[in-house]
Structures are given as C-alpha cells and as structure tokens.
Chain A
Amino acid sequence: MLRSRTLPPPPVADIGNRRLVALTLVTLAAVAAYALLHPLLPHGWRTPGTPLLYLTGVAGALLLLVPAAFSWAKRTGRGGSPRRWFLAHIGTGFLGVVLVAVHGAGRLGRPPALLYLALLGLIAVGVWARVRIARGMSATFGSRHPAFFTPRSAATERLRALLDEKRRLLARLDLGAREATFSPTLGHWLRRPRLSFAYARLAREESRLIGTRQAAPLAEAWWRRLHLALGVVFFAGLIAHVVTVTFFAGYVAAGRAISWWHLAEW
C-alpha cells in the first residue's frame, strides 16, 4: 500500500521570522546596553582607538567580511551550500554590528559613523524584507492573472527583436550557453566585462518590456538592490576607514595619542 518515493535532500532549515526578530532585538539591546553603560566603563572600553576597541573593530570587520564572502560564494558556486552561507551572513552580520558599535564607542559625530548607519540600514532592510516583504512576495502568486489574458502586441515584436540580439551576443559571450537559461555569472563579468555588461543591459531591457518589476510594489521590487547598494557602500567605507586609520593615523588622531596599529612612514 505504501508508495515508494525518491526523497530530495532536505533544505537547510531557515532561521525563521521569530528567531530573526529575536536576534535583531538582542543585537539592539546589546548596542543599547553598551551605550547606557558607556560612561561607567573603564577608559579602555570607551575611548576609540584604544587597543581593546581597536581589536574589537578588527574582529567586527572580519565578521562583516562573511556577508561579503556569502555574496561571492553565492555567485561563484564555491564554498558549499548558499543557504548555509546565508545563515552565516545573518549571524556574523549581527555580531559584527555589536562589535563595530563597541569599536565606535558611541562617537556618532565623526565620519565613520556614516558606515555604522549604512550597517544599520543593511540590517533594517534585510530584516524588513525577511519578515514583511516576504508576505508580499508570497501574495504575488496568482496576482498577475492579466498576463494570461494579454494578447501579443507590438511589445511582443520588440521582445522578439531583443531576443535575437541577446542570442547573437551570447554566441560571443559564452558559446555553449543557451539564451533560455543563461544569465552572466561572476566569471563572465570577470572574463568578459564589456560583453557581460552589454548582455545584462539587454536582459534589463527585456525585463522592462515584460514589466514585472515596475508592476511590483516598490519595496518588493527594490529592497534587494537597496540592500546590495548599502552593502557596497559599507564595504567601500570600511576599506576607506582601514586605509585612513592605517596610513593616515595622524590625521585621524587629530593631535591625540595614536594607540592603534598603524603605518607612520610609507
């Protein structure tokens, strides 16, 4: 009576909304606790640039490299399960935020505070997407029924021409690939950036003609791009911060003692 079945491998468990919200609250509570206790803490724990806070910053930055590594792993197929990387990017991201907050010692009036704002924005967008925008995405199913009633039109002909162009371009970008299932990978971008860019432009044009992103609610359509943009801003800022404090320590110290590792002569 029993059916035999081929069971697919179980997916890696999701963190779940409740745990994600709880993690967010714990993170915020940790940052708030540090801010509240800040005046009572020993000098080494409340002064930017002390060895302790310097090391905290280094640890936070290293943790925050994991989300960047997630992005890399996801796009290259290296490093194992993307879902595991995704969970890691959440965990390290939250811990990194706490460490960076401690590292900054509550000095919000200085340029590096902008990095911290970007970091908070990243978290806010990510959590919001997971908890709320996900509902909207699920409600998308079955909501585009006019697509079933839409006759072919001039837009269809434009699409046809565009597809021809895509196929011609693809023959130069990746000879073995099929347009039906192809999109440029990181490898393509690194090896043939110009062609990849051209292909991506055509794909964007196709998407525009189909019109799904424009028709979607703003948050659903753009949250991910905003998340990515904030990520890029943060990492660019992080690099600038590291370069500045390492190579321009005097400028950063502004006359105070320099207590962190730096290169004074280069």
Chain B
Amino acid sequence: MGRLALMIDLERCTGCKSCEVACKQEHGLGPGAYRNRVVWLGEPGRPGLDFLTVTCQQCERPACLRACPVNPKAIAKDEATGVVRVAESRCTGCGECVLACPYGAMGYDPALHRAVKCDLCADRRAAGRGPACAAVCPGRAIRFGERDPLLAEARAEGRRPVEHDPFLLDPATVYLDRLARGAGPAAATPVPLAPPERRAPAVSDGALGRAPFAAQAVRPPYQVAREARQPDRILPGGCTFCFNCCTTMVHLQGDRVVQITGNEDDPVLGGRVCPKSQLGVQLHGNPHRLTTPLKRVGKRGAGRFEPISWEQALGEIAERLGAVRETWGPEALGIFAGTRTGVITKQGYIRLFGQLWGTPNVEGTDPFCATGKTIAYELVQGRVGSGNSYTPGDLGSAALYLFIGDNQAETRPVYFGMINDWRLRNGARMVVVDPRRTVTAGKADRWLPIRPGTDLALGLAMLHHIFAQGLHDEPFCRANVLGWERWRAFIAERGYTPEWAAPITDLPAAEMRALAEEVARAEGCVIFASRGINQHTNAVQTNRVLMALAAVTGNWGRRGGAFFNMTAGLPIAPDAPPERQRTPQQPKVRRNPTGWTEAMLHGRPYPLKALIACNNPMSNWPGQAEARRAFAALELLVHIELFPNETSAHADYVLPAATGIEQGDIGRSNDDRRVVWVDKMIEPPGEARGDAWIWVELARRFGFEDVLPERYKDPAVFWDEVLTRNPQLRGCTQRRLHSVPYRWVRIPVAAEDAPEQETLYLEGTTAFGAGPGRRFPTPSGKLEFWSEAQEAMFRAVGLSALPEFYSEREQLVDLPHVAFTEDDAAQGTLSPFHKTPTASSPARLVAAAPDGPGAKLRARGYDLELVTGRPPAPHFHSWTHYLWQAQEMWPDLYAQIHPDRARALGIADGDLVRVATAHGAIEARAWLNAGLRPTTVFVPIGWGERQPYHPWRSVNFLTDKTQRDPVSDQTNLKTLLCRVSRA
C-alpha cells in the first residue's frame, strides 16, 4: 500500500465544520480535544474569508514523534501507509509533541490529558471505510486515498497543490489552492493560501469559549472509551434542525444515541451531512433538557417552578383555557409554533386543534422568514416552491448560479456543497449579490455588495436591460408568461434603468447590465433567493421581480434553469370535518404574530388572552421590548419546548417536548421536494412527551377526540390516515417511505407506485393536479405576473400588481417606502393574500424625501445599516446553543463591522460593543470583517439571555415589529439604521 493522505480542497471547503463534528463523534473527543479543526481566516484589509482545515499532516519526518520522550515512543509511524498514530495507552500527556508540531496539528485533550491526533480513522479503515471527515463533508472538499493517485487526480482537474513544507517534514496531506476569480471592480478577489497576516476572528472557537463547559455538559458518547459507545443498532433517519433536511444514520446503544452519521445510501446526498445533523447526538441525553411538566410558582420571569404531573398540567391548562374561551371567546387563544415544533405538528395537529377550538390566531415563524416568497410563488406559479431537483441532470447542469440574498453555504451547507461541486466540475459561473461577502459569496466568481433592501431595484434594472436589448426569451414569454408585456411597458415607462438603479443599489450600472446579459445568455441559469429577499417590506414584490427575471429569460420549467427561494413547501394542511370546525367570528388579528401585541396588551382590535407557544417567541419575535410587555399581560402562557429559555421563564406552564427521533416526524420542508421520514427510535427523557401526544391529550380534554383520536399520538398513523389525503402526498405513504433505505420520497406522487419527477413544469407537460394542458398550476396555466384579479388584490393593500419600486424606511439614502395607514390596534381590512380570513393594515407608498424617517435617524447618529441573519452552519436558531460543541465552535454573539469603520470608532476585533437602533440596544463581540459593505453591520440571530453557556440578549431587541410588508405581513429584518460603540 502507498502512502495514505487526505486531499483538502480549499475551493470546495465552506468552513461548515461538519468534519470537526464527525471527528469528535467518531473518536469521542470532548471540548478542546481536536484531531481536526476548520479555522476561519480573515484578513484585516481585504474582503477575504477563507477556511483552513487543520489536521495532522502525516509527515514523513514527524516532529511530534521525535519529540516524544517516552521509550518506546507513544507516537508511532506505520511505515507502509505513513500514518502517524498516538498510542494512547503509552502517552503521559507531557505535551512535547504539541509543542513540536509546526502546523499546530497535534491535539491535546485537556480533560483526559493525552495527545490526540488524526490517524486517518484507523479503526474505520480497518473496517474497510474511509475517514469520518471525508464521509460527511458537504462540499466533498476532503478526499482520502493513496497520496500519489490523489495528486494525479488533482493534476487531471487542473488543480495546484499548495506548497507548505518549509520545515522539510514532508507532509502527506495535500491542500488544493483556491482558484483565481473573474476580473472587474466588484469581482471576488483571488484568495491564494498565502498571506501570513490572516487571522482567525476573536469570536471563533478559542480556549476562553470552552470555559463554561462544566463536566456535566459533556456526556457520553464523548470522553468515553470506544467500546463504551459501540452501537447495538444503526437506523436510517433524518435531521429535523434545518431546511437542508439531511438524511442520517442514527447509531443507538439501547436508548442512547451514540453517533449520527450521513446516510451513504442516499442517492442525492450520498452521506453528506451538515454539522447540525450530527450535533443531534447532543440533543439527546442533554443535561439542559426539560424533563417534567412545570407550573410557575414565582412571578413571571423569575424562573421559579414546581414540577407537576401531566394530568395536573393538562387538566389545569384545559380549565384555564376554557375560562378564557368562556370570557373572551375562542379567538382569544393564540397558538404560535416555530421550526422546533416540527412540520407535522405545526401544520397538522395544531391546525386541526385551531379549527376545532375556533381560533384564527394560529401562526408559525413564516411571517418572520418566508411569507413573502410563499405568496409570490402562489401568485406566479400557483404552487409554492421550485419544480427542480438537486440532481446532476437538473441543477447540476446549469451554466450560471446567481445567488441574491441567499447565503446557501451557511444555511443549507449540503445543498451548497453540491452546487459548488457542480460549478467546479462543469465550469459553471457563480455570482452572489449580498451586502456581505458571505461564505457563499466567497466561492463566487463575482460578488456584488448591494445596499440592503434594494434588490428590487437591481431586479427591475436587469429586467429593463433585458427587455431593452431584446434579450428575453420571447417564445417562452408568449407561451408561458402572463402579463410580461404589461411589466415590460411599466418598467420602461418608469425608467427603471441600470443608471436609475445605480445610486439606489450602490452598484455600478455596468455591473447590472453585465449581470443581466449573463443571466439572459446563460445556457441554464438558476437564481437562488432567500431570507435576504424575504425579510423586507418589499418581500413579495422583490420575489416577483426575481421570478420575472427567471421567467422572461426562459429559466423556468427546464432542467438547469430555475428560480429557487428557500424550501419547496410541504402540502400539509388537513382540515377537520366542516361540521366539527368552529368558524371564528373574527379574522386573524394579523398574519404576523408581532401584530398580535396590541391585542395582548390592550385588547385591540379584540382581546388575545392566552397563548400556547411552541418555540421561543421571547427571543424570535421582532421588536422584543413590545413583545415582552405583551407576554407579561397574558392571562395564560403555555410553553412547549425542549429547553428552558426566555419564554419558559415567563410561562405559567412549561411542557417538556420531544425531538424527532423521540416521537417520529418528517424533516423540514426543503429545496428538493424530498419528504424525509424520521422514525421514533428512542423514548423522550424523563416525563417529556412528543408534541403529537400533547396535542391529542389536550384535544381530548375539550371533546375533540373524534378528530384527534388516541391513535394519532403516533405521527406515523396520523401521517397515513390524515396527511396523505393531500393529492400531492397520496403516494408518499409510510410503506413507500420505508421501502427505501434513505427514507424519503420526492413529491408530488399521486400513488404509491407513481414515479418521482425530477423536474416539474417541463415543456409539453401538465402540472400535477392542474387542468389538461396547463403547464403551470395557475388559473391561466401560465406563470402569472399581472392580471385584473391580481391588480385588484394588490390594490386592496395599497399597492399594484405592477412592480413599483420601494425599499425600507430606514436607509442611508432616502428611498420610497411603505407606511401603514392604521396600526395593529385597528380592525384592519381583510387581506386577499391569505387563505384564511386575516386582517391586515392598509398601506401607502411614501415617496423619498430629504426629511424622511431615515434622514431623521441619520441626524441622530444612526449611520450604519444593520442586517440580521443566520450565523455559521453549526447553529440553527436557539436549539444549538444548548449543545456544547456548537457553542465551542461559535460561542459568542457577534457584530460584524468593517475594519475601517471599527478603526474610526476605536473598536478592535473581539471588543465588547453596543449596537443600538431606534428600537433598542444589545451588546455583542466585534468581528472585524472587511467582507462587508463599509456601512453594514451584521448581527446573527439565535442567541438568548437564558442560554446555558454564552448567554446574550436576542438581536430582536434591535428590530421593529411595525416595518412589515403590506402584502405578506413579513417583517423587515435586514435593513435598520444603527450605531455601534465600544461597550
């Protein structure tokens, strides 16, 4: 056998740290103990962000081995494979090897006091498998094999290995250098692995960040010998954390999860898995889990509770809910569910309970994230989500990937890994439009640092140029697009040229023209959009404009051409029998739950007195100051959760919930239309119960057991009997889901034996469930951008179905924006955009003016643009902050700020800073990052002040509940004026 090695491709690595998680699981390593580590390297003066996977170099002349004072050495080198190993039974933990390694690639376990190092997973190799890191890598950035063939492979791909042997140690590990980027002023600069002045940001993992991990936080399978964590069964499952919806293999030892790996049988993901999926190990047996029902005994927020039985908890809750209904009516109950709750519970059990109870006030986190794109998809395509798939023949065949407001690399790392891989294999181009040089932007050929909140202007300018140059796909438009000519005329009439858009977007007109031409001429362009587009007051219109960009260039209903806005949606919307539904007498207060606070505080437009919260609204509702006052005014707050948090501290009753594998569930709605089934594999901890169990039990206490009978406590039964009634899911039965080793089915499937469809809406096809000859499931069978009916809908909320430009009211330049003519206390008008009667506040467009709201704030010193969003891949909302390893990787809340601005403010990397908007203030650690617009500040979501390791106030103390899209009621979370100072 030749010399074994890892080949690490820096162009493919996205810094997600999935390899780190896999490694720690595989080898049972606790905090501070590393065999590999992905270091994020920034450069103070350049917008570069790069990642270096540090792992043992398996040197021919291992300095560590020579430094070991033990005889025979506690470090040995296999002469056949070149692999250098630690003999842990001989190591006394003196640390001489750690000192000796010039690459900093020798690990040291500070708890067990011994050297640890990568041995290329010797035990896995003995079983005929490769290293764990390579198996899970979402970007296929880590390859394993004999060194010479790996080098030949790299040469065949035209790649250049990095020269990194100044010490003559002859390292075996191969690093493939970054590729040079396109030219141009806004092009992403080439990032060779060279400048020594690169450094890791102070907010990334460090020794200080590990200090809070008490011994009780680290439980098996970590820090225990391998034989103590051997599984007795390995079952296929799926991750329920995020919207990538990875398929997994859950390794179980009795009722204990000892490892989670990717499912290598999955024909799409092939074992790729992101760090969160694997960190699921730490959800189970977690010392912070809620394990028994609790009843508040102190005042709200004091966190004093007494444990009670389920019988008492549910009995008392039912009694108090009954009293609320008796006094205030059924509409006085609100139910708020989030991503933690799970799709089946949120869209199934809770929906049915709401219908039986008679409250319209049932909502999830969509109005914070995605209602803008949902409504836009429904208007344009008639159904939510792209019809394309993550397959080589579909998305893998595109010539251009354009990301606008979508940091896919950090939010869906595995999908991005696939896209990036196809980009490199096929020589496709990638362009990213984002105020930040995100990880996604770091891989792009061009990065356009747009002013936040102005993507609508960019889209309009690109459309203008495409129409003006005749670059649109006219045959496609004529056959498949309704209203495109009206849009063309409107855009021309308004003069939405690239020159018009340049000062708005802060992008050169030439860049916009070039991008428009590139999109129009590409042989297949996939436009990705996400929260950067959705979390604005112009969410629906921006989505429609970007959809129009895809449509008029013929990038819709074809392989390798698409508009994607994160997740395809899941058609789960069961209805109780009409005779059992209790029709609410009032419309939903507002679509956005933050529009409920007036109802909670002052009973306007009608009282909302009780709330059942199924995630953490006291962190994730925008405008926290107001939200917290509203929660304090509730007569009853019930909280169903996995971990104690701000909401549970204020709740009257806290009910301990279960995770996916503790109850049975499906994965999240994802881009790829895959429904991933997760079996119940273990019991929840203590007295915790699945959400299904809780809702069925609660329903029983109100006489709803005919619709939610006892057997529906099993989500698998509920799935087959209720949810597969939807035509799109009819063939997605438990039997079919369990007939494949990866447990997923790509929908729609009309019958158990119906084939899955790789690409929907292809030319000559009829859309699923649509009338004959209708290629798209809209009333006209075409992609609809303007119709009389749509115009009337938009007029009802004060806008037009034509794409009139407006932005946010808090901007560094004065731009048109929307203003509600009534506040949330008013009755409002019924919105035509929602499926159930929902009140909305009418709005009007306000022209740009030099004395506008932005100007007033700027005069008060708010001179930076705050953008909020997701932190790096290991974190998702608040869940992961209870998992020690996610916190080890990214411990502290941070505020990214441009080094030039930081210097002017006297702020150094890692300093404690105060970020303030007109709506509130928080503290965070500064992360100096030149990969930002110089005027942008970025603060991530997910941190909360009651989290166990690194508590920080939620970013939503900075956001504003009143800045919402009149169409979708979506909150603006991406453009707020702020100021930053040293705390």
- A residues with CB within 8 A of B: 1-12, 14-18, 74-77, 81-83, 85-86, 129-130, 133-153, 155-156, 159-160, 163, 179-183, 185-186, 203, 207, 210-213, 216, 220-221, 224
Contact = CB atoms under 8 A, between A and B. Distances in A.
Contacts of B105: 141-142, 144
A185 B124 CA distance: 33
A205 to B, nearest CB: 13
Contacts of B490: none
A151 B164 CA distance: 7
B95 interface: yes
A6 B104 contact: no
A153 B193 CA distance: 17
Contacts of B62: 180-181
Interface string B52-76: 1010000011110111111111100
Question: What are the 10 tightest A-B residue pairs by CB atom distance, in nearest-first order?
Answer: A144-B104, A138-B32, A11-B88, A139-B207, A142-B37, A180-B61, A134-B110, A137-B108, A10-B225, A141-B34
B215 interface: yes
Interface of B: 32-34, 37, 39, 41, 52, 54, 60-63, 65-74, 77, 88-96, 98-114, 122-124, 126-127, 129, 162-168, 175, 193-196, 198, 200, 206-207, 210, 215, 225-227, 230-235
A221 B99 contact: yes
Contacts of B206: 139
A147 B215 contact: no
A238 to B, nearest CB: 23
Contacts of A136: 207
A138 to B, nearest CB: 4
A135 to B, nearest CB: 5
Given A77-B72, A137-B95, A142-B34, A180 B60 contact: yes
A147 B41 CA distance: 13
Nearest to B59: A180
A11 B91 contact: yes
B94 A224 contact: yes
Given A75-B69, A148-B164, A181-B65, A140 B89 contact: no
Contacts of A186: 71
B104 A2 contact: no
B123 A14 contact: no
A5 B166 contact: no
Contact of A9 (B73, B77, B89, B123): B89
A74 B196 contact: no
B234 A2 contact: yes
A5 B228 CA distance: 13
Nearest to B96: A224
Given A141-B54, A147-B104, A181-B77, A4 B231 contact: no
B227 A10 contact: yes
Contacts of A145: 39, 41, 52, 54, 104, 198, 200
A149 B123 contact: no
Given A137-B98, A138-B207, A148-B193, A16 B111 contact: yes
Contacts of B175: 148
B187 to A, nearest CB: 23
B169 to A, nearest CB: 9
A163 B60 contact: no
A152 B54 contact: no
B104 A140 contact: yes
A134 B69 contact: no
A136 B98 CA distance: 10
5 contacts: A8-B123, A8-B226, A16-B111, A138-B33, A138-B109
A182 B66 contact: yes
A158 to B, nearest CB: 10
Contact of B114 (A14, A81, A140): A14
B231 A156 contact: no
A135 B207 contact: yes
B70 A134 contact: no
B114 to A, nearest CB: 7
Given A142-B37, A181-B77, 17 more contacts: A83-B89, A83-B92, A134-B110, A135-B110, A137-B98, A138-B32, A138-B108, A138-B110, A140-B106, A145-B198, A147-B166, A148-B162, A148-B175, A181-B66, A183-B68, A216-B99, A224-B94
Given A5-B126, A82-B70, A186-B71, A142 B112 contact: no
A77 B103 CA distance: 29
A155 B165 CA distance: 12
A129 B231 CA distance: 36
Contacts of A151: 163, 166
Nearest to B231: A2
Contacts of A147: 102-104, 164, 166-167
Contacts of B109: 138
Contacts of B34: 138, 141-142
A143 B92 contact: no
Nearest to B38: A142
A142 B39 contact: yes
A98 B196 CA distance: 51
Nearest to A89: B92
A129 B68 CA distance: 17
Contact of B104 (A4, A15, A86, A143): A143
B111 A142 contact: no
A74 B65 CA distance: 15
A82 B92 contact: yes
B104 A81 contact: no
A225 to B, nearest CB: 10
B101 A212 contact: yes
A143 B95 CA distance: 15
A147 B34 CA distance: 18
A149 B197 CA distance: 10
B194 A149 contact: yes
Given A11-B91, A142-B39, A75 B71 contact: yes
A142 B67 CA distance: 19
A134 B113 contact: yes
B168 A159 contact: yes
Contacts of B93: 14, 86, 130, 134
B37 A141 contact: yes
Contacts of B168: 156, 159-160, 163
Contacts of A5: 123-124, 126-127, 226, 230
A146 B41 CA distance: 10
B102 A144 contact: yes
A5 B259 CA distance: 15
Given A14-B112, A82-B74, A135 B66 contact: no
A70 B867 CA distance: 59
B103 to A, nearest CB: 5
Contacts of B126: 5-6
Given A142-B39, A149-B196, A152-B165, A207 B90 contact: no
